[in-house]
Every structure is written in structure tokens, then in C-alpha cells.
Chains A and B, each alone.
Chain A
Amino acid sequence: MTGFATLLRKELLEQWRTRRILVVGIVFLVFGIGSPLLARYAPELLKAVGTGMPGATIELPPPTTADAVAQLAKNVGQIGVLVAILLSMGAVAAEKERGTAAFILTLPAGRGAFLLAKLIAIATTLLIGIALAATVDWVYTTILFEALPVPGFVALAVLLWLQMLAFAAITFLVSTVAPSQLVAGGVGFVAFVALAIVAALPVIGDWTPLALSAPAMDLALGKEPTALVQPVVASVVIVVACSGIAWASFRRQEI
């Protein structure tokens, strides 16, 4: 892991200077604020719209805490995953395209350290984002609905982070082996769609990162989670396997 600390410092500084942390933070803040707000006021908004239309009657169940949490999980499971793909698609491919990978790798920097520093920087940015979202979401949920147990919300944040990390790892792998960042982004998106389809299937659907949303919501609401182990194992395996394959490919790759 030659040069890991220096490369991690560079990657984190890059996340900051290129305003990726800021943009991701804002996006997730919007999730955190908007999810409970939307859950709380969406029925009233729809009702207000409906009363303006003659003959229209809209009956919605009263909003619950579960709606607020589900809204957050849905947002992260869709837009959050796309953010993870966008963050990862250029991680290695763009450096190869620019020639900066060759510059770094002719310095005393190990290829494993080069990859790991990037993965950790991406994971850190996503972690900051989801931590912001979960914190703000918890505050607004408490104000608009009821106070939920903090450990449950921490578990929600960790599981949703793992979910995004799995797609980041898939995209990162392609960014390492593919000739361009567009290819990496495209494959990451296709993987997202494919896993979304698989996630809809019974039994096997539990073995996908997208199936983390359900147990994450359960834990946030203080319930016993259903099918927690399968998506956690699947996600961890995806992250570890994609990282390992990326390293195995990159260590002998021509730059």
C-alpha cells in the first residue's frame, strides 16, 4: 500500500475542491428535508388540488411515520444510487484518459493504494451525504410525526450507504477496466436497472443491494427487520468482489 495516506489525502481534497462533497451534501439534504415533508403534506396538497376540480374526490390515508421513512429510502434507492454511479464512473477511467494515472503510477505509489484511496474517498462522500440526509430526516420526522429511535436511524443510514456503495463498486470496477468513463457510467446504470428487476422477483430478489431498503426502513421504525442478512451479504460480496477484481485487473494493466 505504498503512498496510500498521501493518495487518500489527494482524493479527499479532490472531492472537496471539485465540490463533489458539496453537491452530494445538498442533494442528500434535500432528501432529508423533503422526504418527511412530502410524506406529511402530500395528502393535503393532493386534496387541495382535487377540490379545484369539479366532481373529483381524493381520499388518502392519513400520513404516517412509515411514509416519511419510506420516502427517504425510495429517494436514496433511486437518485442516491445514481449519484453513486456518477461519482464512480470517472474515478479511474478519467485519470487514464487525462494521463494523470500514468503520472501518479510513475511516482512511488502502489496500484492497490491508488484504487483503494479512490474507493474510500467515494465511500466517504456517500457516507457524508447519507449521514446528512438521515440526520435531517430524523429531525423533520420527529417534528412532523414522532421521535424514532436513533440507533434505528443509524442502522437505516448504514444500510442505505451500503446499498449505494454496492453500485459505486460495480461502476468503479468498470471504470477500472473500461476505456472511458461513459462506458463505466452506462454499465453502472444498466446494472442498476438489471438489479432493480431482479429485486422485484421473489426469494432471489432478497439477494440484491436494492433489497436493503426494506430492512433499513424496519430498523428505523424500531421493527424487527425482514430479510436483512441476504441483501447485506449480497452487497458486501459485490463491494469486495468488484474491488478485488478491479485490483487484479489494474495491477497488470497497461496505462
Chain B
Amino acid sequence: MTIAAASAGASAAPVPAIVTRGLGKRFGDVQALEGLDLEVPAGSVFGLLGPNGAGKTTTLRLLLGLAHPSAGGATVAGVDIRSAAATGALGRRIGYLDQSPRFYGWMRGRELIEMAARLHGLRGQVLEARIAEVLELVGIADAAGRRIGGYSGGMRQRLGIGAAVVGRPQVLFLDEPVSSLDPEGRRDVLEIVERLRGTATVILSTHVLTDVERVCDRVAILDRGHLVVASPLEDLIGRYAPPTFRVEIAGDGDDEARTMAAERLAETLRMADGVTDARPAGPAVTVRVADPDAASLRVLSVLAGAGVPIDSMARVRPTLEDVFLDLVGRRIDPDELAAPGSQPRAAGPAWSTGVDPGRRR
């Protein structure tokens, strides 16, 4: 049986893989996580999304039994996390990849996978077969005999995933698995996660929106230690993603004049029927509408009557920053944004925000 085929039990189980109730963590004066109520269905690829400092890693560390909750509790694969550290009961049911795994530079890649497999109790032919299977899955079979100290960041991430899945865990935690990788490494790691779909419940902590769109079927968004929303991804898109147009102001390189024109145009557009919001964005205006088919004609009509020269009007999806602005009402530090996925792009399946009204500022 392959790792992919071993999943049926996990994915079909009606019991949530993770349940948290009022989970909280305080470090001195800092409330890193507060009142987290969350249920993660078994078999899902669950994106834990939020800017740096949102509480993602704290949440993972609590669920892994590496930290102790200050309030509330949780179960992971049926194991109470409060007893996890003392009993080690979680280890057989979970896998974990740190955001910047270093492992042991003196060890060979294969040896690390073998150590993890032996800790899971595998021996003999089963052990050898599983190691070969995992090395193939993560694509480092050729480098398995080399010392980890010579591995690139991407190879270490793949090795770490291999070590995490060799015991066929029920729940796999991946903490920012691609944040430090180049585009090729990102693609490889996300492909591995895709291949793991259905084999285990995967918790993917990240702040890269496109990664979430690509591999996750459910998401939870954290901000400043609070859960903002948790929902299936498609529901979020259906419920919260407002169709958006971007109108570029034409001009001969006079950005100041174009910016001022954009501000005037945004004011005018805000009063148009069917437009839910219009914001200037430099020499452009971002226009959100309720019904894109009906509203697009009205927007064009307004543009025609506004006397502002237009370069283009195209339907776009919100950027990651747009999403977080909607969610938490503040601008994200550019350092928090990963380069991939943070640019507006042409219309496609939109992703937007589901906001707890109490959290909107």
C-alpha cells in the first residue's frame, strides 16, 4: 500500500482531525493567541493564513505539544494536547515540518528518513520499502546518500516532508513550508503537498495567498492572535470575494495629475449604482461591485461621463494586501508579503475575504 493509498481511513473519518476550544497562549504581557475555536475536518488540506505575528506558529506549537496552552484546550487526532508532551502519544499520529528545518548536517538524507521510520516502529523489509517510497515521493532519492549539510533549502524542505510523512501520520503540520524557497522549490514542495491530499489532514501555515488557493480546500485566517474567519475556500470566495475592476488613468507620464484624477474618479464611482466601493490606488482606481455584468456597464458609463482619460479597465482579483486590508483594516508590512502571488492579476477564480463583522475596523 502506498502513502497515497493509505489515506482512506483518515479522509473518511467523520471525527474532526483537530478540535480547539478557547485555545489561548500568553507570553508574559503578550497575548499571542486568544480564544481559538476551530474544527479541522479529517482529510482536508487546511490553510492557516495570517501575517507574521498573527499566531500561526504559536497555534501549531500548541497543537504539536511543544508549548502549553494558557487557556482552553485542543485535541489532535483524538489526543488531548495537554497530555501530549508528557506522554508522547501524539508522535505516532502527527508529522511536522518546521519553517526552516536544519536537521543534522552530519547525517545523510536517507539516515534521517530511516531514523524517523524507526521511531515509528518500522523494521526490516517494511522499513526499506517505506524509505524508498518516501524518497521517491519527495524527489530526493538521488541525493539520499549525501550529507544533509550540503543540501539546499529546497532539498531540506523536501527531506523534512519525507521525515514527517514516513510514519503515515493522521495529521501533517507544515509551518511556512515554502516561504524561504525560490519559485522552483516552492512549486516542488506544493506539488508534494498536492500528492499528499487525501493521505492525511494537512495543516499548512502560510502567508502566501496563492499557495492557499492552490492546495487548500479550507482556510482559517488569524490576525493578532484572533481567528478572523474559518471556512471552506470556495465558500469564502462565493460569499466574500467582491468582483473588482481596476481602472488605469491615461496620461503622459504626469503621475501626480493621474493620481489626482484617480482620486476624483473614485469619488464619482462610489456614488454609482452597483458599486460597493471605489478606492484610488496611485494612478488607478480599484472598483468593487456587487454584480460584475450589470455594474461593468454602469462603470463604463460613469467613466465616459467623467471626462477622465482612461487607459484600460480590467477585472482583477484582489491582491493579498487587499484581502488583509478587508480583514483586519490595516496595511501589511511589505516584508510580510511573499513576492509570489502578491500582484494583481487578470480575472480568474477570485479569492477574497470573509470577515467577522466584529473584527472589521
Contact = CB atoms under 8 A, between A and B. Distances in A.
A98 to B, nearest CB: 5
Interface residues of B, number: 34
A224 to B, nearest CB: 47
A254 interface: yes
Nearest to B85: A252
Given A106-B64, A106-B66, A100 B91 contact: no
Of B61, B103, B115, B163, most buried by chain A (CB within 10 Å of CB) is B115
B259 interface: no
B240 interface: no
A102 B60 CA distance: 12
B23 to A, nearest CB: 15
Given A107-B120, A108-B119, A111-B85, A254 B96 contact: no
Given A103-B98, A103-B103, A251-B86, A2 B91 contact: yes
Interface stretch (A10-18, A157-165, A211-219, A237-245): A10-18
Given A103-B96, A251-B86, A98 B64 contact: no
A3 interface: yes
B106 A17 contact: yes
Nearest to B99: A99
A99 to B, nearest CB: 5
A106 B195 CA distance: 22
Given A6-B115, A110-B88, A251-B85, A103 B106 contact: no
Contacts of A42: none
A100 B116 CA distance: 12
B91 A109 contact: yes
Given A17-B106, A111-B85, A254-B68, A10 B96 contact: no
A105 interface: yes
A67 B192 CA distance: 66
B103 A100 contact: yes
Given A99-B100, A100-B103, A102-B98, A107 B91 contact: yes
Interface of A: 2-3, 6-7, 9-10, 13-14, 17-18, 98-100, 102-103, 105-111, 251-255
24 contacts: A3-B119, A6-B115, A7-B119, A9-B118, A13-B111, A98-B102, A99-B98, A102-B64, A103-B98, A103-B160, A106-B66, A106-B90, A106-B94, A106-B173, A107-B120, A107-B163, A107-B167, A108-B91, A108-B120, A108-B167, A111-B85, A252-B85, A252-B86, A253-B85
Given A105-B88, A108-B88, 20 more contacts: A2-B88, A17-B106, A99-B98, A99-B100, A99-B102, A100-B102, A100-B103, A103-B98, A106-B64, A106-B65, A106-B91, A107-B91, A107-B116, A108-B120, A108-B121, A109-B119, A111-B88, A253-B85, A255-B61, A255-B66
